[in-house]
Structure 1
Amino acid sequence: MGVKVRTLAIVFDSREASGYSSGDPVSGQVLLEAGERLAVAVLRLEARGCARVHCADKPAATAAAAGREEMVYLQQQQTLRQATGDQGCFTLQPGKHEFPFSFHLPQGPLVTSFNGKYGSVKYWVTAILERPGVPNQIVKREFSVISQIDVNAPNFLSSVSKSKEKTIGCWFLTSGPISLSAKIERSGFCNGESIPIYAEFENCSSRLIMPKAAIFQTQTYLANEKTKTFRQMIANVRGNHVASGSTESWNGKALKIPPVNPSILDCCIIRVEYSLAVYVHIPGSKRLMLELPIVIGTIPYNSFGSRTSSVSSQFSMDMSWLQLALPEQPEAPPNYADVVSEEDLARQFPSVPQADHLEHEFGSPIFAYIQEFRFQPPPVYSEVDPNPILAEEMQREVSFEI
């Protein structure tokens, strides 16, 4: 890097760990430590992101012969510091210097960062320090981009099922068939989730079979009309042996998804797809297999939200008949006098004595009695019953009939 420049590095802000998405701001600092005074022409930053494919197994002289292809998704540059006016250089004093930078990722769809067998998708930032009479000093650092895939989308919530059958034998020496059927409730999952597998295995052959399930990752690369495919198993599970004439059922057998790259479905030269394979290992014969396509997303499955939306839609469907039954303007309630007669009204509400009559009965204003009762203290507690019931009265009240 030269004697005078001790450190030239790029540091991203804290969001780098979780990854960036389309339209997000990317910010950080270029750190430079000078051992002595530096004359600098310009310090600039370049941001770049692209998908690259190299389908050839051996290196070739040209990119076309090597089967290479490139798709650019990000290309930006900015000047962090340069000389002003007619000055050809600016001076940096000895010590540490920070040059902040910030830019936004494109709003359009970006492909998730990926590093595969015959290609990759990478995003990086390059800081270039130009000084007179000295070769340019360059530092590069990558950052990850994630294309968000919501597994709660309707096309990922529908169930997937398949069935298959195979007969084992040679010419006229054949045994009974082996049948297999499998189902998953949805096709969208995220890292760390377990896939519940519902499957039925029926063995009508004369051999002992073993049911299994696995998650496969298929990488497809396209460059100059050449296609390369790489397939690998990333997780598997097995069941119990199924003897001849027996059946085996999986009622939600769990297969956990390990940390893997999300599905890449929006790139024209690189695709990363996943499938759940449910198969039967048959000794001395090819295995019986069926594959259910799955998608590894980034936004986790929300069972409560999905269930609530389905229930609410069903409720709105079932209650739609009320709109036909209810009138546009409700009728006013009937008058109380029209429903209750004067005789019923007098019977329900007996005449209340007037205050003058009560005062004549008590010999003093009624308000005095109200205040007297209002401020009376509670009765004194006592364990002795003030109104005891004699034993003779109790015997007289209780009688038995034979």
Structure 2
Amino acid sequence: MGKLRCFQIDLDNPQALYWSGQTVSGRALVDLESEMKMREIRLEFLGKSRVHWTEQHGSGKHRHTRHYSANELYFNNVVTVFGKGLGGGDEHTLPPGQHHFPFSFMLPPNLPSSFEGGIGHVRYVVKGTIDRPWRFDDNCVRAFTVLNALDLNQLPEANHGAEATDNKTICCLCCKSGPITGTIKINRIGYVPGESVYFEASVQNLSSRECGISAELEMATIFHATTKSKSTHQRINSIQHQTLMPGDSDVWGGDRFIIPPLPPSYLSGCNIIDVRYLVKLVVDPSGPAFDLNVPVEIIIGTIPLTSAVQQYQQTLSAVRPSAPPEVAMPSPSYNEFILGSTHIGNEEGGEHTQGQVDFTPTYTYYNWSRTT
């Protein structure tokens, strides 16, 4: 019969992170307690994106569930490493013990960056299958991160500032109070993970209510199915400010957001998922009322602005006069996605799939507090 102790995919790159066009290499490990009969062992290299969600429509006996979905395939290569696909008959025997099957696969250029977003993802995996006659196949899966470089220096707008102003009037029954007006401003919109986003905000409260004030860093994702689009908003971080009393005004400055490890803006190369980032001023009136939200969009890239690097060098030289005049920019490290892992085993291989069934993509992160 054959008993399988372990079936897994090991990558040569321990971080499991690659840029478009690089080579993914490693080996499949099959550890058998006793000999096993099989047709073949094959590996599948798969890059794809998928969007899927459901909505309820109608009411009563006419209520039904509607599915919305879209898919893109970037590559799908299948390679046999043992057995039938390499020639010979349909039945082969693998003796007990550990067996290593090396592989190497070159990624195509211009792939979109990896992304896991609940109702949609851009995902890259190596799947292993032991094809066994008259039995269920044994499967394993190993996901890895692919990054598509977004150089902020290639985007002229990345070095520009941004400002937004909005207001709202609170109505209570037949009474209307004065408006609440908020403004938020940043001096540039292009950043890489690890950089700080400083903002200035001002609020004028001419209403009759107390107003809580905060700022948020938000990821806005648009998922495009074939017949409909859907947006989701996830708060990455928030900063609370003091309460503003009726009739008062306030100017808020000096606080900052540090950009955590996040996928680059836009997901260039993917046509069904779009990722944007917002720094948002939020004014929350007491009592029943909608918040006033004043957003400005920022761009998160993988390669920082040269002007930001020069400013960093000048700041470091001022703090450390003994530092050499030309200070090297910190090399990026690679840290896991701040929003955590996704269970991929059932979708990518089935209920009994071995290997890495929980996956967290990894993104660039620049430590601006030290040099290399």
Which position in structure 2 is the counterpart of 1:297? 301
The amino acid that maps onto 1:13 is: D
Corresponding position of 2:9: 10
Q: CA 1:265/1:139 → structure 2, altered by over 3 Å: closer, same or farther? A: closer
Identity %: 33
Rg larger for: 1
Match of 1:110 in 2: 111
| Corresponding position: 1:143 with 2:141 | no
Judged with a 3 Å threshold, the aligned counterparts in structure 2 of structure 1 residues 35 and 306 are, in CA distance, closer, same or farther, namely same
> What is the correspondence of 1:3-402 to structure 2 with a 5 Å cutoff?
3-15=2-14, 17=15, 19-38=17-36, 40-57=38-55, 66-82=67-83, 91-107=93-109, 109-131=110-132, 135-152=136-153, 153-168=155-170, 176-266=178-268, 267-284=270-287, 285-300=289-304, 302-305=306-309
* C-alpha distance in 2 between matches for 1:88 and 1:104: 29
Superimposed CA distance per residue, residues 16-36 of structure 1 (whole angstroms, 9 cap, x where no aligned partner): x25222111111111112334
Question: How many equivalent residue pairs?
Answer: 301
Contact 1:263 1:295 in 2 (8 A): yes
Can you give the 5+ residue segments of structure 1 that lack an aligned partner in the other structure? 59-63, 309-402
| Cα separation, partners in 2 of 1:82 and 1:12, compared to 1, 3 Å | same
Do the aligned residues in 2 keep the contact of 1:235 with 1:257 (CA within 8 Å)? Answer: no
Q: 1:91 to 1:303 in 2, by over 3 A?
A: same
* Unpaired segments ≥5 residues, structure 2: 57-64, 313-372
TM-superposition CA deviations, 1:193-240 (whole Å, max 9, x none)? 432111222334444333221122222222231222222322211222
Q: Distance in 1 between matches of 2:94 and 2:68?
A: 46
Task: Provide closer, same or farther for how the CA distance between residues 45 and 85 of structure 1 changes in structure 2, counting only shifts above 3 A.
Answer: closer
**TM-score normalised over the length of structure 1:** 0.65
Name the SS for the 2:149 alignment partner.
coil
Deviations 1:271-303 (A, max 9, x none): 222211113222344333211112333334554
**1:343 paired residue number:** none
Structure 1 SS opposite 2:19: coil
User: Does the Cα contact within 8 Å between 1:235 and 1:258 map onto a contact in 2?
Assistant: no
Deviation digits for residues 252-271 of structure 1, max 9, x if unmatched?
32133444444344322222
Change (3 A) 1:245 1:56: closer
SS of the residue corresponding to residue 155 of structure 1 reads helix
| Paired AA for residue 7 in structure 2 | L
Partner of 1:368: none
The structure with the largest helix share of the pair is: 1
Shift of 1:39: 5.0
For the residues of structure 1 that align with 2:127 and 2:24, how far apart are their CA atoms?
13
Distance 1:85 1:161 in 2: 66
- Asked if structure 2 preserves the Cα contact closer than 8 Å seen for 1:235 and 1:256, the reply is no
Contact 2:220 2:276 in 1 (8 A): yes
Q: Is the 8 A contact 2:114 2:121 kept in 1?
A: yes
Kept in 1: contact 2:184–2:280 (CA 8 A): no
SS of the equivalent of 1:55 reads strand
Q: Which has the higher contact order (CA 8 A, sep 6+)?
A: 2
**Aligned alpha-carbon RMSD (Å):** 3.2
Q: Following the alignment from structure 1 to structure 2, what is the Cα–Cα distance between the partners of residues 273 and 304? A: 21
User: How far apart are the structure 1 equivalents of 2:50 and 2:310?
Assistant: 38
Higher strand share: 2
